Structure 1
Amino acid sequence: MTSDVDARPVTIVTGGGRGIGRAIAERLAAEGHDLVLTYRERRDEAEAVADGCRGAGARVELLQLDLADLDRAAEIVPEAVRLFGRVTGLVNNAGITGLIGPFLDASIEESESVFRINVLAPMVLCRAAIAHMSTDRGGEGGSIVNISSGAATHGAPHTYIPYAASKAALNTMSMGLAKEFGSAGVRVNTVSPGTTRTGIHAAAGRPNAPDERAGNIPMRRPGEPHEIAGAVAYLLSDDASYTSGADILIAGGK
């Protein structure tokens, strides 16, 4: 007999300790998911998110790691399976932009780091998740949501072209995975936020970027993390059972 605990979805959220990742974790916990949250630093913030999600009834495990270490990234799905017995969802949320500025000021070394974290780490995680979820391999199916960016469609000139290119690569990978593994019960989609009020801008050297860009957004304001989380929750839900290969743009009309 399957218990209520065994029937709960188990979802991995990378970068789940703050920003959009935190909002996604909190929304999924409220909707009945158990969670594996990864974070790189700021354990106190990650613990606060985990405690809040536990208060909503979720079982939560935290994994501290740097996704630039691809060998460590490859261990996340197996570790989640060991902890919970299965994984039904994956949200590749963690990412970096590199410094905001002109293309010629961006070093190749920095761009390599952007692609390593924004493309190669999600690729590693998707490989492990699909191998576990695929009905062709004895799995029960599942859903993957890759957090992309509106920048993937306009290139982000004068801002962060390497970041935009990495997110375009993520979109292409997601589209290909959706087509290759749809028959094996694995849905793959992307959510593409526009400018959103998170700490990623401060890390890129422009903490006021969301408000600075507000005048160029049709809704005249940046997004908030919880406005991204709703789309992710939908794509992981049974309501999206026939949705795969989609990209939901959440950018205030831009």
Structure 2
Amino acid sequence: MLEPEPELKGHGRPLNDRVALVTGSSSGIGRAIAIELARAGANVGVTYHSGREGAEETADAIREAGGTAEVCQLDVADAKSVAACVETITRELGPIGILVNNAGIDGDEATVASIALEEWDKVIATNLRGNFLCTQAVLSDMILARRGVILNITSVHDTIPWAGHAAYCAAKAGIAMLTRSLALELQNVGVRVVALAPGAIATPINAEVRDDPDMMADLKTKIPMQRVGKPEEVARIARVLVSDDASYVTGTTVTVDGGMTAYPSFSHGG
């Protein structure tokens, strides 16, 4: 059986036999969340967009430790793909009671004045439309069961502007407001909706920055804790938020950023 992390000792397996679908779980934060939820007892649907090998590695890590995982291909921006993946996970593992909307892209760097419409649409479709489609696909079973959790992975850039990445920021801010609005719609049916906003986390997407001493030095000036976070640090918070330990938490965003949104440039006064 999966051995619990130290934080879980004495608390059993809080997600025992629950079914979780974690989008974009072939690497990075999504992989860490999928493994952490399995460690807490969940049966996990692992998804990938194009790299099945990474998803299989995530699933293998879960299975080798005694957990249950099912892999499916998923284009979150395509309604048919979403419906097919949800059907597969439901058939193989059972009704989905936990959805982690993690899949996303930051897109190519471009100003609003210069960005191609196709690039703008791709970022919005993956990050915001995809979140909506996956959420809508699982809601009927959650409402019927009068139990469920939707965890939306946003970003500190739902609050902090990022020149050259306006589409990404707009999508993430949209997810934050979708979280709040949906929480109100579901307030009386036993389904919670929460967002989790990571800051700078060590994943393949920012490897170039972490490998460049000058870029890393600049990044650290933006983080009061003076380091990049680990995917597992985000995953542990995700595990709490989707468990009954967070039964009174809905319609809000929890930030995991080492203090980045605390405006570190003001640490020495204005």
**TM > 0.5:** yes
Per the alignment, residue 197 of structure 2 pairs with 192
Q: What residue is the counterpart of 1:22 in the other structure?
A: 31
User: In structure 1, what residue type is equivalent to 2:113?
Assistant: L
How many pairs were matched up? 244
Corresponding position of 1:241: 247
Structure 2 residues not aligned, in runs of 5+ = 1-12, 261-270
Cα distance change of structure 1 residues 21 and 9 upon mapping to structure 2, 3 Å threshold: same
**What residue in structure 2 maps to residue 227 of structure 1?**
233
RMSD: 2.1
CA contact (8 A) 2:77 2:133 kept: no
> Contact 1:29–1:56 (CA<8 Å) still a contact in 2?
no
Task: Provide structure 1 residue ranges, at least 5 long, that are not aligned to the other structure.
Answer: none
Identical residues among aligned pairs (%): 36
Counterpart of 1:130?
139
Q: 2:100–2:153: 8 Å Cα contact kept in structure 1?
A: yes
Matched, 1:109 2:115: no
1:208 CA drift (Å): 4.9
State TM-score, norm by structure 1: 0.89
With over 3 angstroms needed to count, the CA separation of the structure-2 counterparts of 1:223 and 1:105, relative to structure 1, is farther
8 Å CA contact retained: 1:91, 1:146: yes
- CA offset at residue 155 of structure 1? 1.9
* Aligned position for 1:182: 187
Match of 2:22 in 1: 13
Paired with 1:172 and 1:237, the residues of 2 have a C-alpha distance of: 22
Contact 2:201 2:229 in 1 (8 A): yes
Alignment of 1:1-254 (within 5 A): 8-134=17-143, 138-156=144-162, 158-201=163-206, 208=211, 211=216, 212-254=218-260
Residues 49-73 of structure 1: per-residue CA shift (max 9 Å, x gap): 1011112322110001322323212
Q: Which has the larger Rg? A: 2
The DSSP-based 3-state class of the residue aligned with 1:182 is: coil
What TM-score, normalized by structure 2, do the two folds share? 0.84
What is the identity, as a one-letter code, of the residue corresponding to 2:180?
M
Q: C-alpha offsets along residues 133-172 of structure 1, whole Å, 9 cap, x if unaligned?
A: 00xxx3241101000000011221x241110100000011
Post-superposition offset of 1:206: 5.9
SS in 1 for 2:113: helix
> Partner letter of residue 172 of structure 1?
M
